[in-house]
């Protein structure tokens, strides 16, 4: 099972699915053109209401990760053009962390050292 739900996770189910599929695509496990599980089949597999899957897929389509064709299924898009935006998002989050660290008296060096040792 490539996609799993963690019911203890505070994030809504549909968001977990969105994140999981985004990750699978970013990591190249799902490749452009690959078919994504059908709404109903994934709903069955995860024991979840089809509407919830539909919501996730709808979000993924709007964000450009997949494209859905009525009567045929859902397919992975080429996401190479989305990566720069993703990178910027990560850098923005990193910036927030550094500022937060600074508030509690942690120097940049300490953070850099921590990253280096991971």
Question: What separation in angstroms does the CA of 11 have from each of 5, 56, 59, 67, 72?
Answer: 10, 13, 15, 24, 30
19 binds DNA (CB under 7 A): no
97 binds a copy of itself (CB under 8 A): yes
Least distance (Å) from DNA to the CB of residue 91?
25
72 binds a copy of itself (CB under 8 A): yes
27 binds a copy of itself (CB under 8 A): yes
Among 1, 47, 81, 116, binds a copy of itself (CB under 8 A): 116
Least distance (Å) from DNA to the CB of residue 30?
14
Among 1, 47, 81, 105, binds a copy of itself (CB under 8 A): 105
Strands 35-36 and 66-69: unpaired
Least distance (Å) from a copy of itself to the CB of residue 100?
6
Strands 73-76 and 35-36: antiparallel
Query: Near DNA by CB under 7 A, which window of 6-14, 19-27, 98-106, 107-115?
Result: 6-14
Q: What is the CA radius of gyration of the chain?
A: 18
**C-alpha angle 55-37-67 in degrees, rounded to nearest 5:** 60
87 CB-near residues (< 8 Å, 6+ apart): none
């Amino acid at each position: 099972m490539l996609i799993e739900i963690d019911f203890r996770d505070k994030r809504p189910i549909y968001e977990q699915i969105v994140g999981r599929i985004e990750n699978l695509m970013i990591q190249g496990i799902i490749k452009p053109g690959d078919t994504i599980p059908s709404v109903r089949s994934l709903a069955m597999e995860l024991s979840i209401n089809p509407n919830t899957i539909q919501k996730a897929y709808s979000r993924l389509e709007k964000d450009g990760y997949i494209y859905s064709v009525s009567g045929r299924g859902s397919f992975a898009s080429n996401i190479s053009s989305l990566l720069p935006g993703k990178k910027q998002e990560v850098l923005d989050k990193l910036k927030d962390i550094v500022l937060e660290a600074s508030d509690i008296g942690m120097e940049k060096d300490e953070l850099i050292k921590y990253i280096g040792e991971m």
